């Protein structure tokens, strides 16, 4: 809008046009106040009924809450106004009226349940604390791109419609692609590995992944955003360094650049970026720790995956971010390389927040014959993946990488209860719209 001033930029003495939503109106008789809200904050508009044109007063005061108005007038200092200034209007225009009945109260005076909030995300995002989550999410992704830049990575985008899956056949969403069966991609895994073998060497992607998993939990989405890294000539320890740098970079950026948003979320006092190196615990040590400290139904033995309950015990025990390394090969994906001196042991790792898993990754199997054998052991037909495996015949360097759930990162940085709070329009078992 030509000539529009953000409410935060309105200075005493300025002649401005501000535009935004009617946050509230207070009619005191001879004088009335309207609070107008925009992306930058709120401003008071003062109506002195005896001194102003009736039409102007009526237009301003008859507008229902959440209607969109533009107000032109002079900004005056007013210590009693919420921001210390007010606009004395010379013209008021209704740009978009709002129904008097709202499905959700953006002023936050009336709480709404999460499903109602998600059904009405536009209104929900007019609340300062909800807007703050998405501003912080954007800052985390910005900082992540910066960290990857410092790590000499090139940003890539890979196909989301694919012919085959990689992360286990049961979790694929099938679609029809010109009469053929195709799938929504579960992970950029194979494509990012192909790029590690290209002239780009070190790549990252921030993009959607689709998982048709049955889970309906506060930590799972059926469409999530994955932050993926893949680096040629990297081993699993260097990949872990990169994951740690991305996580720390996210916290530091939020701490440095999001003071206002943290305050809106009531986190300004308690927000803490992790300090020191994330401990690296072997799978075996993790099992011992869970068995010693946890009160689980079953004693964990070598080869067991860590249940949510076991992760919880471990998280409480470690109390900070940590890695779990040296997993049994049999429970890590076929594309992860085993240790050269012990084939039972995988270079795969997970990076954990005390509340949940954030990352999994590892060094990759880059030897063509071993890779083909891995596909076969997994029950996958290597022929179907020939586009991928054949590139391992033409000089595929050793490489390593990982995937990190962006929503889980935001969720853990901000201590959100439910992952759906970190996505604008979540996709889960029940939710396909909006
Ligand atoms: P994985 O399947 O463990 O590994 O996924 C990596 C990370 O992505 C996030 N994530 C999810 N977040 C929300 N909802 C989901 N349904 C969901 N699924 C995964 C988690 C998880 O730690 N190809 C490998 C990565 C690699 O080795 O590079 C992979 O996808 O934070």
- Does the annotation mark 219 as catalytic? yes
73 C-beta closer than 6 A to ligand 1: no
Index of the ligand 1 atom closest to the CA of residue 358: 31
Mean predicted confidence (pLDDT) in 342-365: 97
357 C-beta closer than 6 A to ligand 1: yes
Which mutation among 144, 362, 405, 416 tests ligand 1's pocket best, with the greatest number of atoms within 8 A of CB?
Answer: 405
- Does the annotation mark 139 as catalytic? no
402 C-beta closer than 6 A to ligand 1: yes
Choosing from 219, 367, 370, 431, the catalytic residue is 219
Q: Would you state the CATH architecture of domain 7-96?
A: Beta Barrel (2.40)
pLDDT band at 297 (very low <50, low <70, confident <90, very high): confident
Strands 342-346 and 202-210: unpaired
Index of the ligand 1 atom closest to the CA of residue 351: 22
Does 352 have pLDDT greater than 60?
yes
Task: Summarize pLDDT for 76-129 with one digit per residue, the tens.
Answer: 999 999 999 999 999 999 999 999 999 999 988 888 999 999 999 999 999 999
Question: Structural domain boundaries of the chain?
Answer: 7-96, 122-279+320-422
0.95 cut: is pTM over it? yes
Index of the ligand 1 atom closest to the CA of residue 401: 28
How many angstroms separate the CA atoms of 348 and 20, rounded? 51
pLDDT of residue 169: 55
Q: Do 7-96 and 122-279+320-422 agree at the fold level?
A: no
Minimal-distance CA residue to ligand 1 atom 1 = 360
Distance 292 CA to ligand 1 centre (A): 28
pLDDT of residue 385: 92
pLDDT of residue 170: 63
Class of domain 122-279+320-422: alpha beta
Q: Is 357 annotated as a binding residue?
A: yes
> Encoding tokens for residue 294?
């946890």
405 C-beta closer than 6 A to ligand 1: yes
């Amino acid at each position: 809008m030509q000539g529009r001033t953000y409410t935060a930029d309105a200075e005493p003495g300025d002649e401005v046009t501000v535009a935004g939503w009617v946050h509230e109106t207070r009619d005191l008789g001879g004088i009335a106040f309207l609070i107008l809200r925009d992306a930058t904050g709120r401003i008071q508009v003062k109506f002195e009924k005896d001194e102003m044109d009736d039409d102007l007063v009526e237009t301003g005061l008859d507008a229902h809450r959440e209607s969109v108005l533009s107000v032109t007038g002079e900004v005056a200092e007013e210590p009693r106004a919420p921001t210390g200034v007010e606009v004395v209007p010379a013209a008021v225009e209704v740009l978009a009226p709002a129904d008097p009945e709202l499905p959700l109260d953006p002023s936050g005076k009336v709480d709404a349940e999460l499903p109602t909030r998600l059904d009405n995300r536009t209104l929900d995002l007019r609340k300062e604390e909800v807007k703050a989550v998405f501003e912080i999410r954007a800052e985390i992704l910005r900082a992540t791109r910066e960290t990857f830049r410092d790590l000499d990575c090139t940003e890539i985008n890979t196909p989301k419609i694919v012919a085959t899956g990689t992360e286990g056949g049961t979790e694929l969403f099938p679609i029809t692609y010109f009469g053929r069966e195709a799938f929504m991609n579960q992970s950029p895994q194979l494509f990012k590995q192909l790029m590690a073998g290209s002239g780009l060497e070190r790549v990252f992607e921030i993009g959607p992944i689709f998982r048709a998993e049955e889970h309906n939990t506060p930590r799972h989405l059926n469409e999530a955003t994955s932050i993926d890294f893949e680096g040629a000539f990297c081993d699993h320890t260097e990949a872990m360094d990169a994951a740690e740098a991305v996580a720390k970079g996210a916290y530091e950026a939020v701490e440095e650049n999001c003071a206002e948003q943290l305050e809106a979320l009531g986190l300004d006092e308690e927000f803490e970026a992790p300090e020191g190196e994330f401990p690296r615990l072997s799978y075996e040590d993790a099992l011992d720790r869970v068995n010693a400290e946890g009160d689980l139904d079953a004693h964990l033995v070598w080869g067991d995956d860590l249940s949510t309950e076991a992760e919880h015990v471990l998280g409480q025990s470690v109390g900070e971010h940590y890695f779990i390394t040296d997993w049994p090969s049999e429970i890590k994906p076929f594309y992860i390389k085993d240790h050269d001196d012990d084939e039972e042991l995988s270079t795969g790792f997970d990076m954990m927040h005390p509340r949940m898993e954030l990352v999994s990754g590892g060094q990759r199997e880059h030897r063509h014959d071993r890779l083909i054998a891995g596909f076969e052991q997994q029950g996958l037909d290597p022929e179907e993946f020939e586009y991928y495996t054949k590139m391992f015949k033409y000089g595929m360097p050793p490489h390593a990488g990982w995937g990190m759930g962006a929503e889980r990162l935001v969720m853990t940085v901000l201590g959100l209860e439910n992952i759906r709070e970190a996505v604008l329009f979540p996709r889960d078992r029940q939710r396909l719209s909006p």
